[in-house]
Amino acid sequence: MQDRPLDGVRVLDLTNVLAGPYCTYHLMLLGAEVIKIEVPGRGDLARRLGPDPELNRAKLGASFLAQNAGKKSVELDLKDDRGRATFAELVTHADVLVENFRAGVLDRIGFGWERLRTLNPALVYCAISGFGQHGPMSQAPAYDQIIQGLSGMMSITGTPDTVPLRVGFPVADSVGGLSAALAISAALAGRRHDGKGRFLDVSMLEASLSAMGWAVSNYLVSGVEPEPMGDQNATAAPSGTFDAADGPLNIAANRQEQYETLCRLVGRPDLITHPDFAEREARKKNRHALNAQLNEALRCRPAGEWERILQAAGVPAARILTVAEAVAADQVTGRGFLADLAFPPGTPRSAVDRAPGGTLRVSGNGILVDGEPLTPTAPPPGLGEHNAELPELLHRWRDAGRPGLAGVPDRRR
């Protein structure tokens, strides 16, 4: 296994379900050692979430397996004196602590930021929550769908007839986790210069608004409130989903030369100079009429054939795939994005037998380091699988020295 950017970084993971585990999964892929601290007997709620009831009963739900490979699981009761003492010692030698409780929960059990930085002045503490650690909604419960609604995301997803619609995956959770991983990596980089820890307050709501990019900035800068446009692109035309002979085809001819090439290739060069379509702004204003003309021309060939023809000519175009088709695509598999792992101890035999090849397949993060994909270092852990290793782990962390000093020594495992 290649050296990874976060080799030697020690992470305490108190997170549940998706935003937090997704954050620490990225840290693990980048080389960090992640110790998942779980409630005895229960663990991460995601252990009981997923489409397979047998895996859920075994506390190995598919939702958990997807985001927790390569981590170690240790059960600690933070409401118990012994559990808190052990946790305090782990904090003393950790580089990063991540949690996604409701604001203030960790403080109420005796591990707020003041206590944490007393235990370890170099600690990077990241709190991920729906709304941030202060403000009128800081104590409100938040799930992905709640954030999607409050961010305005649902108000611009769909068409005028179908809005509001939820995005088809937990995008607010994912964006929150990515934002947290970015902030933690930045804090670790900064710590090498000054030796100081940081308290990172990540709001899923604000991270989602930031990720909405032009939809938000167009309103803030120009006062133009975005509207639902279905599969169309507000900034360009023709740009959206079109009709090939056998199904839909995405085309994004956002530049003038792309538009002109598209018109020639579909046999409609007359559209290049048509007064309703010749200029960018005219095309946006008359997009529905233009789309109708292009759809008529595109229906003569299947989507796959148009994809090859248009891409070869520099026009962005591609079929619309199902998830099953996407993960099987040569472009994805050829870069090592997916990893095959052994199932964790305790996995029901029937679940193993149903899996292709009897292995657990999980995704990476789309990053190659020196040409190599970042894949998990081990399967997802069973609940408390590493309890017995805790004394050895503490001993190793103590020997590695306190984190955070400028010129930190190499602590690679």
CATH number, domain with residue 306: 3.30.1540.10
Quick: pLDDT tens for 58-81: 999 999 999 999 999 999 999 999
pLDDT mean over 243-256: 97
Residue 313 placed within a domain: yes
pLDDT mean over 97-105: 94
- pLDDT number for residue 406: 41
Domain boundary among 281, 301, 323: 323
Residue 61 placed within a domain: yes
Same domain, 292 and 343: no
| Domain total in the chain | 2
- Cα-to-chain-centroid distance, residue 312: 31
Same domain, 52 and 98: yes
Residue carrying structure tokens 């290049």: 272
pLDDT mean over 258-278: 97
- Distance CA(74)–CA(154), nearest Å, equals 38
Mean pLDDT score of the chain: 94
Q: Is the pLDDT of residue 203 over 50?
A: yes
One-letter amino acid identity for 154? M
Has 77 been annotated as catalytic?
Answer: no
Q: Specify which residues 128 forms β-bridges with.
A: 202
Quick: pLDDT tens for 164-181: 999 999 999 999 999 999
pLDDT-based confidence at 404, cuts 50/70/90?
A: low
CA atoms within 13 A on the CB side of 411: 23
- Distance CA(77)–CA(400), nearest Å, equals 26
Question: Can you give the CATH number for the domain in which 164 is found?
Answer: 3.40.50.10540
| Angle, alpha carbons 87-90-93 (nearest 5°) | 155
Same domain, 191 and 255: no
Q: How many CB atoms within 10 Å of residue 388?
A: 9
Residue carrying structure tokens 């894949």: 375
- pLDDT number for residue 377: 86
SS3 251: strand
User: Of 44, 107, 173, 330, which one is the catalytic site residue?
Assistant: 173
- pLDDT number for residue 357: 86
- Distance CA(84)–CA(330), nearest Å, equals 49
Residues of the domain holding 139 = 10-212+337-374+383-399
Same domain, 265 and 290: yes
Q: Specify which residues 247 forms β-bridges with.
A: 244
Residue 293 placed within a domain: yes
DSSP string, 30-51: TT-EEEEEE-TTT--GGGG-SS
- pLDDT number for residue 57: 95
Q: Is the pLDDT of residue 299 over 90?
A: yes
Same domain, 244 and 304: yes
Task: For CA atoms 224, 215, 255, 290, give the dihedral sign.
Answer: negative
Spell out the alpha helix ranges (H) of 246-322.
256-265, 270-273, 280-285, 287-298, 303-312
Pairing of strands 124-129, 372-373: unpaired
Same domain, 56 and 32: yes
The reply to whether omega before 164 is within 30° of 0 (cis) is: yes
Residue 329 placed within a domain: no
Same domain, 74 and 192: yes
Residue carrying structure tokens 């937090």: 20
pLDDT-based confidence at 1, cuts 50/70/90?
A: low
Q: Is the pLDDT of residue 408 over 50?
A: no
The DSSP call for residue 301 is S
How many angstroms separate the Cα of 221 from the Cα of each of 173, 224, 413?
27, 8, 49
Same domain, 351 and 317: no
